[in-house]
């Protein structure tokens, strides 16, 4: 049992056990729906984001009285709406906006919910109590009404304020979810061991507990992303989301409230609905694959 000096400089063995990312990738590859979704999503997003760079936003928003309700043609690929605006360009910018908004909301809620959940779960006691009571309070508030009120009150209503308002109400679910996982992780021996080894609390939270909660976070994040797109669309459809100057998928679908558009000018709202369907479904399938990757028993790979 002597010390072997030569072993110091050996390179890591070829068969390193797969890290988390590799396991996820393997699982997505094995699931055909998820793979297709990933590809489709990738294509759509890349197309939309890059095309949006070339489109002049103001030109899209400008009302052109002469081109009202034109049918699809080579000049306007999906025709125009009642303001004479190019529907196709709106679709592209709208998709980009919807996705960005949803991403923004998801990221912000993730950050806030994660921090709250980690701190409440790890420290317990009074900290936990206070945070939980705050969460309880926020949950009991009538969400829709508050959003409507806030939307009406706030003077300068932009995309950012919209994101912030939504975040205000949506972080609680995540916080609770993470807190419950942290509570169970915290009792495991490896956390005790780290404490006896002199590791400070913040290090334990970030480097020990967070990686073990990560599978939960990733899945939740992905599924939330899909959900938030729908949420934003719904609100805009009802009229409490973005104004028409900022096109989104919701605004396009909102045109369908007009029965004439609904029946005769389907090219205004139908592509938008299909786009929503594609986005949400593909994100969902990827999310399912991720969920399976996290649970070793259900893995197909």
Partner 1 sequence: MTLLKVEDLKVHFPIRGGFFRTVVDHVRAVDGVSFELEEGETYGLVGESGSGKSTTGKAIVKLNKVTSGKILFEGQDIANYSSRQIKPYRRDIQMIFQDPYSSLNPKKRVLDIIAEPLRNFERHSPGEEKKIIQDYLDKVGLSPDSIYKYPHEFSGGQRQRIGIARSLTLKPKLIIADEPVSALDVSVQAQVLNFLQDLQEEFKLTYLFVGHDLGVIRHMCDRMGVMYRGRLVEEGTSKEIYNNPQHIYTKRLIAAIPDLEPSVREEKAIARQKVSEEYEQSYSKYFDEKGRAYDLKPISTTHRVALP
Determine the 3-state secondary structure of 70 from DSSP: coil
**Residue count (the chain):** 301
Q: Is 16 in the site for partner 1 (CB under 8 A)?
A: yes
Q: Is 188 in the site for partner 1 (CB under 8 A)?
A: yes
Q: Which residue of 47, 68, 193, 234 would you call a contact of partner 1, by CB under 8 A?
A: 193
Q: Is 10 in the site for partner 1 (CB under 8 A)?
A: yes
Q: Is 7 in the site for partner 1 (CB under 8 A)?
A: yes
Q: Is 127 in the site for partner 1 (CB under 8 A)?
A: no
Q: Is 202 in the site for partner 1 (CB under 8 A)?
A: no
Q: Is 239 left (phi over 0), alpha (psi -120 to 50) or beta?
A: left
Smallest separation (angstroms) from partner 1 to the CB of 122 = 14
Q: Which residue of 208, 265, 291, 292 would you call a contact of partner 1, by CB under 8 A?
A: 208
Q: Is 145 in the site for partner 1 (CB under 8 A)?
A: no
**For helices 20-30 and 32-54, what crossing angle results, to 10°?**
100
φ, ψ of residue 200 to 5 degrees: the values are: -70, 160
- Judged by beta carbon, residue 27 or residue 232, the one nearer partner 1 is 27
Q: Is 125 in the site for partner 1 (CB under 8 A)?
A: no
CA gap 185, 205 in Å, rounded = 11
Which residue do the tokens 């936003």 mark?
Answer: 57
- Judged by beta carbon, residue 14 or residue 156, the one nearer partner 1 is 14
Q: Which residue of 64, 130, 133, 211 would you call a contact of partner 1, by CB under 8 A?
A: 211
Burial environment of residue 116 by CB neighbours within 10 A (0 to 12, 13 to 18, 19 or more): buried
Burial environment of residue 199 by CB neighbours within 10 A (0 to 12, 13 to 18, 19 or more): middle
- Judged by beta carbon, residue 210 or residue 262, the one nearer partner 1 is 210
Q: 238 is written with which tokens? A: 């009802």
Q: 104 is written with which tokens? A: 């923004």
Smallest separation (angstroms) from partner 1 to the CB of 123 = 13
Q: What angle do CA 293, 21, 283 make, to 5 degrees?
A: 60
Smallest separation (angstroms) from partner 1 to the CB of 212 = 6
Q: Is 8 in the site for partner 1 (CB under 8 A)?
A: yes
Q: Which residue of 32, 57, 133, 192 would you call a contact of partner 1, by CB under 8 A?
A: 192
- Judged by beta carbon, residue 52 or residue 210, the one nearer partner 1 is 210
φ, ψ of residue 80 to 5 degrees: the values are: -130, 165
Stretch (H or E) spanning 159: helix 159-186
Q: Which stretch, 36-44, 105-113, 183-191, 243-251, contacts partner 1 (CB under 8 A)? A: 183-191
The residue ranges that bind partner 1 (CB under 8 A) are 1-5, 7-8, 10, 12-13, 16-17, 20, 188-190, 192-199, 208, 211-212, 214
């Amino acid at each position: 049992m002597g010390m072997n000096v030569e072993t110091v400089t050996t390179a890591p063995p070829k068969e390193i056990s797969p890290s988390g990312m590799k396991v996820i990738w393997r699982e997505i590859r094995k699931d055909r729906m998820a793979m297709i979704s990933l590809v489709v999503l990738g294509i759509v997003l890349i197309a939309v984001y890059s095309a949006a760079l070339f489109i002049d936003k103001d030109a899209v928003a400008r009302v052109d009285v002469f081109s009202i309700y034109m049918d699809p043609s080579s000049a306007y690929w999906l025709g125009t709406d009642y303001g004479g605006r190019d529907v196709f360009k709106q679709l592209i910018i709208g998709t980009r906006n919807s996705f960005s908004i949803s991403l923004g909301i998801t990221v912000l809620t993730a950050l806030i919910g994660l921090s709250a959940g980690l701190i409440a779960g790890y420290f317990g006691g009074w900290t936990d109590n206070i945070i939980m009571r705050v969460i309880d309070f926020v949950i009991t508030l009538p969400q829709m009404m508050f959003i409507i009120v806030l939307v009406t009150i706030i003077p300068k209503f932009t995309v950012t304020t919209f994101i912030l308002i939504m975040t205000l109400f949506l972080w609680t679910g995540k916080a609770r979810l993470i807190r419950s996982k942290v509570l169970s992780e915290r009792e495991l021996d490896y956390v005790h061991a780290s404490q006896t080894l002199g590791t400070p609390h913040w290090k334990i939270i970030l480097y020990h507990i967070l990686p073990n909660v990560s599978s939960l976070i990733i899945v939740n994040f992905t599924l939330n992303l899909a959900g938030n797109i729908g949420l934003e669309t719904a609100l805009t459809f009802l009229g409490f989301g973005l104004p028409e100057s900022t096109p989104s998928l919701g605004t396009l679908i909102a045109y369908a409230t007009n029965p004439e558009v609904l029946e005769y000018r389907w090219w205004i709202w139908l592509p938008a609905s299909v786009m929503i369907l594609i986005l949400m479904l593909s994100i969902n399938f990827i999310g399912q694959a991720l969920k399976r990757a996290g649970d070793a028993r259900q893995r197909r790979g």
